[in-house]
Amino acid sequence: MSKKVSLYLLLWLFFSFFCTFSLKAENNENINILISFSTNRLKRGEPNKLIIKFKLNSGYYLNYYPLLSIQLKEYPGLNFSKDSFKMNEIDVELLNIGKKKYVNTNRPIVIPFEVLKDFKRGKYVLKIVFEGFITNINEKYAIKFVNPVEKEYRIY
């Protein structure tokens, strides 16, 4: 009888840990990521800014750690300082809730870039993949998300 109890206890611990802490969702419906530029017209040779806004369902917070990853996959004609950014490399405002840190999603994330001077005019698509964790404060679990986002733009 004690072997059955210990087996059930072990199975319960295993499933409770993996099912509540490391849920993963592609294009998670609890987070919406909006990207835009600081100006509507992207002119060749001029600096600009990528504006990233996070909208989360009630009770969810964007984790600061593990660090959110922003991976620029395609960005024709745009010159960013690098292809991939981690949250600790970007100026973000943090919220301290309990012993954990979360990103203040009321303030957008801004990443500067420059439009290449000699790049051909036309329509292009910016492709970014966001990977990180959101936490449901009320139910105390974290969900990993991988959200690809695309934005069409025109270079003048």
Specify the number of domains making up the chain. 1
Q: Is 73 domain-assigned?
A: yes
Q: Is 18 domain-assigned?
A: no
How far apart are the C-alpha atoms of 61 and 57, rounded to whole Å?
A: 9
pLDDT of residue 68: 94
Q: Is 82 domain-assigned?
A: yes
Q: What is the mean pLDDT of the chain?
A: 87
pLDDT of residue 4: 60
Q: Is 6 domain-assigned?
A: no
Q: Cβ atoms within 10 A of the Cβ of 56, count?
A: 19
Q: Is 56 domain-assigned?
A: yes
Any idea what the CATH number is for the domain that residue 83 is in? Answer: 2.60.40.10
pLDDT bracket for residue 113 (50, 70, 90): very high
Q: Is 13 domain-assigned?
A: no
How far apart are the C-alpha atoms of 54 and 62, rounded to whole Å?
A: 8
Beta carbons of 61 and 137 less than 8 angstroms apart: yes
Closest CA to 102 of 149, 61, 71, 132: 61
Q: What is the mean pLDDT of residues 47-61?
A: 96
Q: Is 12 domain-assigned?
A: no
Q: Is 131 domain-assigned?
A: yes
Strand 78-80 with 94-97, pairing: unpaired
Closest CA to 79 of 118, 107, 134: 118
Which structural domain range is residue 84 located in? 24-155
